[in-house]
Amino acid sequence: MHDLVARLYPICRSITGNGVRETLRIIQEHIPVDLHEVASGTKAFDWTVPKEWNIRDAWIKNSAGERLVDFQQLNLHVVSYSSPVQRRMRLAELKDHLFTSPAHPDWVPYRTSYYDETWGFCLSKNQLKHLREDEEYDVCIDSSLEEGHLTYGELLLEGEQSEEVLISCHICHPSLANDNLSGIAVAVALAKQLGKVARRYTYRFLFIPGTIGSITWLARNESAVSRIRHGLVLTCLGDAGSITYKRSRRGNAEIDRAMAHMLKHSGEAHEVIDFFPYGYDERQFCSPGFNLPVGCFMRSRHGEFPEYHTSGDNLDFVKAEALADSLSKSKAVVDILEHNRAYLNQNAKCEPQLGKRGLYPSSANREDKRLRELALLWVLNLSDGEDSLLDIAERSNLPFAAIKEAATALAATDLLVPR
Amino acid sequence: MHDLVARLYPICRSITGNGVRETLRIIQEHIPVDLHEVASGTKAFDWTVPKEWNIRDAWIKNSAGERLVDFQQLNLHVVSYSSPVQRRMRLAELKDHLFTSPAHPDWVPYRTSYYDETWGFCLSKNQLKHLREDEEYDVCIDSSLEEGHLTYGELLLEGEQSEEVLISCHICHPSLANDNLSGIAVAVALAKQLGKVARRYTYRFLFIPGTIGSITWLARNESAVSRIRHGLVLTCLGDAGSITYKRSRRGNAEIDRAMAHMLKHSGEAHEVIDFFPYGYDERQFCSPGFNLPVGCFMRSRHGEFPEYHTSGDNLDFVKAEALADSLSKSKAVVDILEHNRAYLNQNAKCEPQLGKRGLYPSSANREDKRLRELALLWVLNLSDGEDSLLDIAERSNLPFAAIKEAATALAATDLLVPR
Amino acid sequence: MHDLVARLYPICRSITGNGVRETLRIIQEHIPVDLHEVASGTKAFDWTVPKEWNIRDAWIKNSAGERLVDFQQLNLHVVSYSSPVQRRMRLAELKDHLFTSPAHPDWVPYRTSYYDETWGFCLSKNQLKHLREDEEYDVCIDSSLEEGHLTYGELLLEGEQSEEVLISCHICHPSLANDNLSGIAVAVALAKQLGKVARRYTYRFLFIPGTIGSITWLARNESAVSRIRHGLVLTCLGDAGSITYKRSRRGNAEIDRAMAHMLKHSGEAHEVIDFFPYGYDERQFCSPGFNLPVGCFMRSRHGEFPEYHTSGDNLDFVKAEALADSLSKSKAVVDILEHNRAYLNQNAKCEPQLGKRGLYPSSANREDKRLRELALLWVLNLSDGEDSLLDIAERSNLPFAAIKEAATALAATDLLVPR
């Protein structure tokens, strides 16, 4: 995953343009994602697909012809969606178009202006110090803002059931590693692995520009969203921080409970926070007209780590082990969703004899044996058709895996049948 | 408000009599309250309106003719509803009719005997010390207990809706400042201010003797109480203590939630306590046959401050700033009730574009700007017709005022309509 | 109760056999319990009544003819349900049939093998030390395992209502005092006392072998269990530990609330724990096909005190005061069940006048007077036909006894009638 992050890092992405296409083509080397192109001017609820933005080069040169600010070195230097400009001007005039991150003098901030046609450069505070009032600068942004398309990727992995699990990540950020090449890398790895196994649910992976991408997708797929049973927005999954899960607007959807259970039994520090209508594309999936059971899975919370939306969010900030842990936890929660069913105890009056069916766990480890026996008793006791395995795991405070194993063993006998 | 408290302080009030009439006439100088007279003997549910009590003078004189205990100095000296007496007696006999407050030797206790015809004097422990066993005393209570009337005041401020907010305070205590001249003063000020503004709800102010007054009013207005949507009993609102709100019997009525929200966002120490069937007139409004959503708004809890029902509850004990704060908080909660409605987001599928409608808050203060933007997003996200603005304020943990402002701004566009 | 425990202690009980019959006959000296005999081979849901086991003697003798392990000294020395054996063997061979309690070298463990035909001896680790590898031992278990009967005792105390309270205890353990002669002794004492008084509910006492006994009883009484309104399994009620109550599977049944209330107002340390499908016969009563409101009343939790299922659980381990306290608390909870009804306030609009009905409590103790007045007010305020006395006790946080007393006083006037 870290290799994929590194390969995608240099590309200049925005909410439209060739950077997105190039990113999706690299993703296609791993998973068979489809590319969708939606024309500028297309209506999507209250929004309109914007013009397509592309950029070839940009700089601020001094009179000696030296590039003091250079898009080729770091694409964050140009405000995303900057209109083309080629002028010579003094610092006094240029200053209105320069942005820094005062709190971190070495970092270049990330800035966009999608819906206000303007242009600008981002630079570190230390770079700004070298610009002089008495000098004229050559300023160039070789960009285009024209009718074109919004591009997004979509992958459908069909399962036994047509009910869907939605996995969505935004692909509109330029050289920012955690936000959100990490989310893209985890989504690609998860899709790759799910593609190889039998699936109960159908899985839909979206690689979309933030906000306008999810709005466009929802507008084009309005009638189909009712198939979505569970969903996750993946973002900021590569930093060294502990996991944060932001619940769906419903607050107690199965995905919310599955994530909370998985995190609790991970034994690791984590935080489960309530939904709020600010953040990434869960804002759209959880708008009141859709109210989909989609939560947001992240490590450090976007907006709350210092490197957020600056050049500090680079390849060093993203750790291979953190990506691996995020993937592992994604798979753990998918495992809960896949196996969370209700069963019916066929011998509901008094306990059945476990011994004569060979169900008593044999294990060298006494604690493990006891836990497995308890799991069998809990599954039998609560399989009255009301409680699902996740309900049972929650009430028994046993890990879902133990409950699932017990249900599997019992379902292999005459004692338990799926509801 | 403190001036009104000071003016009413010397008057000798009881549950009936001229002190109540005089009090209501002074209130009429501020607000157009109606006086109601209910004849002695009138039935009110399980109760009967008692005889009217009036008192002109009372004393205990020593043989030198000095008034050792003097009603003219402090009306608390006479047990309320004392029958007339004019006798000479030794201390041994008199003692059965003398009451002190042993824990506070300088304070005169307040005592009543409404339903047991007797007589008595209250005095400080230090006064009692000067009475001598070997002396005879002239004892006089120049009172009358006769067929007459129970008097109460009522003010109706009509609003757009016939649904009512009930504000009730008891007016039956003699020279006790906090309990309850403070409640009367806050009610008068609130009525005065509400009288000048447009009102959604109709407001009904009751100035009534405790217990028998509310019972009498409920008996005479039984068919009309179903119009009461919210209510507050105002009492002990002038001391320097922090606010206590006692919930209605329903426990989670809108008034209970509005008070809790207002107090929480005040940032000040406060206590919200559960209903119990003991206290002031909320006992009657919350009796099971009515079960009205009426809570009790107070500062220090009656019965739990040392000055309670003693001469220590005097004009010094009541602070102008505390009265002002109680009024301000009363108005804040009225503001919540007035503006708490549910709205419908007309663009419920995905977020609308705030920018093109000029809705993005402009503010020099970044925190304020962020809070106002969040409030807009919360109102949009939760305005599905289920949640009221108070629900949204509670879930978002934002102050009601911010949510109200956001709803007002959104309702001025095409995005939001009242449900 | 301690005398009964002491008298029953020496008897060798198991899930069937003469020890159970002898135990029940001694119980019959106190209460008129009926004996039921169910033939071996009888089906009971997933189970079959086993062969009947009886034992006369057992030993391990050394070559000098000394009994090194002697059933006559302690019946725990024989694994319950051991098949007969009479052999001479070396320690090497014997060892597979010897069981100790390594953590407590002086104690003899308790061990059973109901469903695996085998034999064995239990002994202390210190006894085992004296057996020598180079010696041959005479090993004898003079037992029989034959078609016969499972025996249990049942006592029905009819009440005004046919709805039942079930009190169940297991009688299958040999010389273990706390587990469960203590439960038997408390059940006998409770039955004796309930037998003498008027009863609202019908009480059914079961003295049954654990697991197979409750399963057999449920199978034979399947159609009748719907009469059971409340139930308790009594076990480990004689040790010096504080009370533990394990809730029924329903979690908030009336018995669960009554126990929690009683324990809370006892002012003593205690623990109320959630149901789990492991333990004593509550496992069967709370199986999903029955889901009866049956909790488990114990002091130290079975399996969690060191003496559990060893010879350390002897007559010294059980204290007369602990038994008395357990009985007293059993009676307190029965008192709640017996008197927990809903009433209707006949004067629901405003408070009634307590004074004119002589209801104001007279008490020298001011706190007691206040509590009794509060109880009257709470009963009046909440007796709207919805809330039972236990609901009122819970909401008011007053002891049930005070609420009951208030309801009794009010029901003697025109103010309150049973719903």
**C417 pairs with which residues across the strands?**
C344
Distance CA C268, CA B377 (A): 51
Residue B363 has a pLDDT of 75
Determine whether the interchain pair B351/A46 forms a contact, defined as Cβ–Cβ distance below 8 Å. yes
Q: What is the largest CA-CA distance in chain B?
A: 94
How far apart are the CA of B369 and the nearest CA of chain C, in angstroms?
Answer: 44
Determine whether the interchain pair A350/C249 forms a contact, defined as Cβ–Cβ distance below 8 Å. no
Q: How many residues does chain B have?
A: 419
- Nearest by CB: A287 against B348, B353, B396: B348
Determine whether the interchain pair C287/A349 forms a contact, defined as Cβ–Cβ distance below 8 Å. yes
Distance CA B34, CA B89 (A): 45
> Choosing among A225, A287, A291, which should be mutated to test the B contact, i.e. which has the most B CBs within 10 A?
A287
Instruction: State the chains in contact with B (3 or more Cβ–Cβ pairs under 8 Å).
Output: A, C
Q: In chain C, what percentage of residues exceed pLDDT 90? A: 96
Determine whether the interchain pair B214/C382 forms a contact, defined as Cβ–Cβ distance below 8 Å. no
Q: Which residues make Cβ contacts (< 8 Å) with residue A413, sequence separation at least 6? A: A357, A359
Q: Chain B residues with CB inside 8 Å of C356's CB?
A: 115
Distance CA B130, CA A246 (A): 74
Angle made by CA atoms C356, C359, C364, in degrees to the nearest 5: 120
Q: Chain A residues with CB inside 8 Å of B380's CB?
A: 277, 287-288
Q: Where are the alpha helices (DSSP H) in B197-319?
A: 212-220, 254-266, 282-285
- Nearest by CB: A352 against C46, C115, C291: C46
pLDDT tens digits for chain A (419 residues)? 999 999 999 999 999 999 999 999 999 999 999 999 999 999 999 999 999 999 999 999 999 999 999 999 999 999 999 999 999 999 999 999 999 999 999 999 999 999 889 999 999 999 999 999 989 999 999 999 999 999 999 999 999 999 999 999 999 999 999 999 999 999 999 999 999 999 999 999 999 999 999 999 999 999 999 999 999 999 999 999 999 999 999 999 999 999 999 999 999 999 999 999 999 999 999 999 999 999 999 999 988 999 999 999 999 999 999 999 999 999 999 999 999 999 999 999 999 999 999 998 887 788 999 999 999 999 999 999 899 999 999 999 999 999 999 999 999 999 999 99
Residue B7 has a pLDDT of 98
pLDDT value at B136 more than 80? yes
Residue C362 has a pLDDT of 80
Distance CA C54, CA B376 (A): 80
pLDDT-derived band at B302 (thresholds 50, 70, 90) equals: confident
Secondary structure (H, E, C), chain A: CHHHHHHHCCCCCCCCCHHHHHHHHHHHCCCCCEEEEEECCCEECCEECCCEEEEEEEEEECCCCCEEEECCCCHHHECECCCCEEEEEEHHHHHHHEECCCCCCCCCECCECCCCCCCCEECCHHHHHCCCCCCEEEEEEEEEEECCEEEEEEEEECCCCCCEEEEEEECCCCCCHHHHHHHHHHHHHHHHHHCCCCCCCEEEEEEECCCHHHHHHHHHCHHHHHHEEEEEEECCCCCCCCEEEECCCCCCCHHHHHHHHHHHHHCCCEEEECCCCCCCCHHHHCCCCCCCCEEEEECCCCCCCCCCCECCCCCCCCCHHHHHHHHHHHHHHHHHHHHCCEEEECCCCCCCCCHHHCCCCCCCCHHHHHHHHHHHHHHHHHCEEEEEHHHHHHHHCCCHHHHHHHHHHHHCCCCEEEC
Q: In chain A, what percentage of residues exceed pLDDT 90? A: 96
Q: C376: part of which helix (H) or strand (E)?
A: helix C366-382
Determine whether the interchain pair B378/A287 forms a contact, defined as Cβ–Cβ distance below 8 Å. no
Summarised one tens digit per residue, pLDDT across range B59-114 is 999 999 999 999 999 999 999 999 999 999 999 999 999 999 999 999 999 999 99
Contact present, C410 and C376 (Cβ < 8 Å): yes
Summarised one tens digit per residue, pLDDT across range C364-379 is 788 999 999 999 999 9
Summarised one tens digit per residue, pLDDT across range C311-362 is 999 999 999 999 999 999 999 999 999 999 999 999 999 999 999 999 988 8
Distance CA B52, CA B150 (A): 7
Determine whether the interchain pair A381/C284 forms a contact, defined as Cβ–Cβ distance below 8 Å. no
How far apart are the CA of B346 and the nearest CA of chain A, in angstroms?
Answer: 9
- For the residues C142-158, what does the mean pLDDT come to? 98
Distance CA B20, CA B80 (A): 13
Q: What is the pTM assigned to this prediction?
A: 0.94
Residue B95 has a pLDDT of 95
- Nearest by CB: B218 against C350, C355, C380: C350
Query: What count of Cα atoms within 13 Å lies in the side-chain half-sphere of residue A48?
Result: 8
Contact present, C302 and C179 (Cβ < 8 Å): yes
Look at residues A183, A238, A243 and name the one whose alpha carbon lies nearest to residue A209: A183
Q: Residues 237..256 of B with a Cβ closer than 8 Å to C: which?
A: 249
**B52 pairs with which residues across the strands?**
B146
Q: Which residues make Cβ contacts (< 8 Å) with residue B95, sequence separation at least 6? A: none
Contact present, B250 and B291 (Cβ < 8 Å): yes
Q: Which residues make Cβ contacts (< 8 Å) with residue C240, sequence separation at least 6? A: C299, C319, C322
DSSP string, C108-137: PB--B-SSS----EE--HHHHHT--TT-EE
Residue C173 has a pLDDT of 98
Q: Chain A residues with CB inside 8 Å of B351's CB?
A: 46, 211, 215, 277, 283-284, 287
- Residue holding tokens 């009257």? C376
Q: Chain B residues with CB inside 8 Å of A276's CB?
A: 374, 378, 396
Instruction: State the chains in contact with C (3 or more Cβ–Cβ pairs under 8 Å).
Output: A, B
Q: Which residue of C has its CA nearest to B218?
A: C350
Sign of CA dihedral A191, A192, A194, A195: positive
**B155 pairs with which residues across the strands?**
B205
How far apart are the CA of C301 and the nearest CA of chain B, in angstroms?
Answer: 36
Query: What count of Cα atoms within 13 Å lies in the side-chain half-sphere of residue A194?
Result: 32
Q: How far is CA C179 from CA A377, A399, C13, C215, in A?
A: 23, 32, 12, 20
Q: Which residues make Cβ contacts (< 8 Å) with residue C262, sequence separation at least 6? A: C329, C332, C333, C336, C400
Q: Residues 288..347 of A with a Cβ closer than 8 Å to C: which?
A: 345, 347
Distance CA C98, CA B34 (A): 96
Q: Which residue of B has its CA nearest to C382?
A: B288
How far apart are the CA of C346 and the nearest CA of chain B, in angstroms?
Answer: 9
Distance CA A99, CA C88 (A): 97
Q: Which residue of A has its CA nearest to B384?
A: A288
ipTM of the complex: 0.94
B223 C-beta neighbours (distance < 10 Å), count: 7
- Nearest by CB: C353 against B46, B214, B278: B46
pLDDT value at B364 more than 90? no
Determine whether the interchain pair B351/A219 forms a contact, defined as Cβ–Cβ distance below 8 Å. no
Q: Chain B residues with CB inside 8 Å of A290's CB?
A: 349-350
Using only the alpha carbons of chain C, give its radius of gyration: 25
Q: How far is CA B215 from CA B43, B173, B209, B281, B295, in A?
A: 10, 17, 10, 9, 17
Q: Where are the alpha helices (DSSP H) in C267-305?
A: 282-285
Q: Chain C residues with CB inside 8 Å of A347's CB?
A: 45-46, 289
Residue B115 has a pLDDT of 87
- Nearest by CB: A348 against C44, C215, C287: C287
pLDDT-derived band at C115 (thresholds 50, 70, 90) equals: confident
Mean pLDDT of chain C: 97
Q: Chain C residues with CB inside 8 Å of B219's CB?
A: 349-350
Mean pLDDT of chain B: 97
Residue C199 has a pLDDT of 98
A222 touches chain B (CB under 8 A): yes
Determine whether the interchain pair A288/B378 forms a contact, defined as Cβ–Cβ distance below 8 Å. no
Strands of the sheet containing C136-146, edge to edge, are C67-70, C52-61, C136-146, C85-90
Q: How far is CA C39 from CA B181, C206, C213, in A?
A: 83, 18, 12
> Choosing among A349, A371, A394, which should be mutated to test the C contact, i.e. which has the most C CBs within 10 A?
A349
> In this structure, which amino acid lies at residue A326?
S
**A112 pairs with which residues across the strands?**
A80
Look at residues B287, B261, B303 and name the one whose alpha carbon lies nearest to residue B402: B261
Query: What count of Cα atoms within 13 Å lies in the side-chain half-sphere of residue C157?
Result: 22
DSSP for residue C165: E
Q: Residues 373..392 of B with a Cβ closer than 8 Å to A: which?
A: 374, 377-378, 380-384
List the end-to-end C-alpha distance of chain C, in Å, as a whole number.
Answer: 39
pLDDT value at B273 more than 80? yes
Question: Is the preceding peptide bond at B180 cis, omega within 30 degrees of 0?
Answer: yes
Give the pairing type, strands A164-170 and A228-234. parallel
Look at residues B62, B72, B94, B91 and name the one whose alpha carbon lies nearest to residue B142: B72
pLDDT-derived band at C263 (thresholds 50, 70, 90) equals: very high
DSSP for residue C285: H
**A85 pairs with which residues across the strands?**
A141
> In this structure, which amino acid lies at residue C276?
F
DSSP for residue C279: S
Q: Chain B residues with CB inside 8 Å of C378's CB?
A: 276-277
**A408 pairs with which residues across the strands?**
none
Token representation of residue B338: 């007035």
Q: Which residue of B has its CA nearest to C377?
A: B277
